[in-house]
Structure 1
Amino acid sequence: MPVDPKPTVRRRVLGTNLRRLREEHGLLLEHAAEQLSCYPSKISRIESGQSPVRPLDLKALLDLYGVKDEVTRAGWLSLARESRKQRWWRVLEDRLPQDFLDLIGLEEDTSYCRGFQPGIVDGLFQTKEYAEAVIGGGSAGPLDENGQTKLEVRLERQKALTRSENPITVWMILGEAALRQQCGGVGVLRDQLLYLIELARLPNVTLQVLPYSVGAYRGGPTSFKIYRFPEPSSMEVVLLESHISHTYLENPKDIGFYADIFNYLRAAALGELESQALIADIAKEADK
């Protein structure tokens, strides 16, 4: 079985959940290997996402782990099929860092995302002109080749919101500063704000604003996202973005910590209609 040093996010999720099932039943790698008549190293590669799992092997593992419900088994087999597919972003492996490719995979493969962006409009919600300004970092002139690649990928990522099958559900909280920072100038910001109002009307988008009036708040000005994978996986992943890299947290304690912060922020933020009203007011101010 081939070893992939850069497994897809979905394959890693499949492997992680198979390991969870095995450990819940108190079984060792050797027990799973005996079920498949293979070496434990093969099970280890499957659980780490480095190797795909064949449908026949997956069915045998599900038998061992006591997964008998036909609907649940069908979900596992579907997850395995999807994990073997080559995704559109794989052709960019030599042009973008792996942690950024993982981000694309998260947005393509997850069903739900909630997060907080205190000082900038989230990449999933950015207009082309706003994204150009953010990627360019205030530099004059057109984007260089690397910047242009990032722009094209960002716009492609946004299709997850409006794809015909299973669009990702997003609940995003923006800090008021994100609505006032004039990335690209007044006109670009105004158009971006109006676009936010359009997106907020989508059935799969919830948008709230954390106003300045809240004052100090729990968690501080740190952006984060929590991605949830569809059933049968119960896995969630926290994404922390910095200027040079993306960090992914999969430990349940870390996920619980950021989930608590998100719940605090959504309670402190304006409601959906109030948020849209504030965004519209700031857009009007930009017209003056």
Structure 2
Amino acid sequence: MRKRVLGTNLRRLREDKGLALEDAATQLSCHAAKVSRIEAGKSGIRQLDLKALLDLYGVKDTDERESWLALARESRRQRWWRVLEDQLPQDFLDLVGLEDEVSECRGFQPGIVPGLFQTEAYATAVIQGGIAGPLNTDQQTKVRVRMERQKALTREDPPPLKVWMILGEAALRQQVGGAAVLHEQLLHLVQVAQLPNVTLQVLPFAAGACPGGPYPFLIYSFPPPAELEVALLENFASHAYLESREDTVRLSSAFDHLRASALSALDSEARIIQIAEELTDP
């Protein structure tokens, strides 16, 4: 993913300067096909070659240049989840890799607590899909990875993932795993919402219909110097990733309407606590 981000933004820099692939290839003393592979995220780039391209594209600021070089270094770093490549579906690995790379996430989940906020008991119930009994090996791996993903919220290097999530009221009431599991999950949501990098809002039933309909989505933003957002649409069978500016702008607009219709963060916390208390009422 970092290679794709790096390549996409190098292409942006080149096009902003009105240069062709051949111009970049001449700078690197290579064939244009090599530059094309770099821009497509199919090949990495040496620090020396990156410095040469930054010179060509007029990137002179020391801090900005270091950001580009750091992005290139990060694209070669081995990720913790790579050892699981033969155990998990590729689209799930793509999601894990995306959360490991981005700096911000905005999203809407109308019917279920999102994976980044799930307790282990809730995640187990979701992955079991309502089928009782012990988890099989694949399911155990998925639960473990889901718990590992949540470290993005409290990591130190890079800075913690900023998350602004809107939950439909149905997600707070669907008794996934039973009343006790949901009660624990709701209290955990209140705790997560206290993190300075997390904003949590509830879209109440009373809000009615909203732009975009009752469909879940996530919008991921990469840190500077990258200028790229990726939207994720999930369904029962797969994930769809949208990278065009038209798609991300459309979903960003839907998100803005949703957050305007949702309860404030403080009122959302009160609603979550209220629903949790209802679960313990005799």
TM range (shorter): over 0.9
Q: Aligned match of 1:148 in 140, 157, 164? A: 140
TM-score, normalisation: structure 1? 0.96
1:67 to 44, 47, 59: 59
Any stretches of 5+ residues in structure 2 without a counterpart?
none
CA distance in 2, matches of 1:19, 1:153: 34
- Give the equivalent residue in structure 2 for 1:22: 14
Q: Determine which of 184, 198, 203 is the counterpart of 2:177.
A: 184
CA displacement at 1:98 relative to structure 2: 2.1
2:105 paired residue number: 113
Question: CA offset at residue 192 of structure 1?
Answer: 0.1
Q: Structure 2: how far apart are the matches of 1:73 and 1:97? A: 36
AA of the residue aligned to 1:246: H
CA distance in 1, matches of 2:3, 2:146: 23
Equivalent in the alignment of 2:254: 261
Tell me how far 1:76 sits from its aligned partner: 0.2
* Paired position in structure 1 for 2:75: 83
Distance (Å, rounded) in 1 between the aligned partners of 2:19 and 2:88? 39
**Mind listing any 5+ residue stretches in structure 1 that lack a counterpart?**
1-8
Q: Which runs of 4+ in 1 moved over 3 A?
A: none
Match of 2:180, SS state, is helix
Q: Distance in 1 between matches of 2:20 and 2:40?
A: 15
> Match of 1:209?
202
- Kindly indicate whether the alpha-carbon contact (under 8 Å) linking 1:72 and 1:232 is maintained by their aligned counterparts in 2: yes
Give 2:218's aligned residue: 225
Q: Distance in 1 between matches of 2:206 and 2:59?
A: 51
SS in 2 for 1:173: strand
What residue is the counterpart of 2:238 in the other structure? 245
For 1:43 and 1:164, the matched residues in 2 are separated by: 34
Please give the secondary structure, in 2, of the residue aligned with 1:134. Answer: helix
Q: Equivalent residues in 2 for 1:166-177 (5 A)? A: 166-177=159-170
CA deviations on 1:174-216 (whole Å, 9 max, x unpaired) are: 0000000000000000000000000011100000000000111
SS of alignment partner, residue 84 of structure 1: coil
2:129 alignment partner in structure 1: 137
Distance 1:99 1:21 in 2: 29
Give the letter for the 2:201 counterpart. Answer: Q
SS at match of 1:248: strand
Same amino acid, percent of matched pairs = 65
Specify the SS of the correspondent of 1:107: helix
Equivalent residues of 1:123, 1:154 under 8 A apart: yes
Partner residue of 1:6?
none
RMSD: 0.8
What SS class does the counterpart of residue 78 from structure 1 fall into?
Answer: helix
CA distance in 2 between counterparts of 1:262 and 1:39 reads: 43
SS of 1:184's partner is coil
C-alpha distance in structure 1 between counterparts of 2:43 and 2:278, whole Å: 55
Structure 1 residue identity aligned to 2:183 = R
Q: 36, 39, 55: which one pairs with 2:31?
A: 39
Q: CA deviation at 1:53?
A: 0.5
Tell me the number of residue pairs that the alignment of Structure 1 and Structure 2 aligns.
Answer: 280
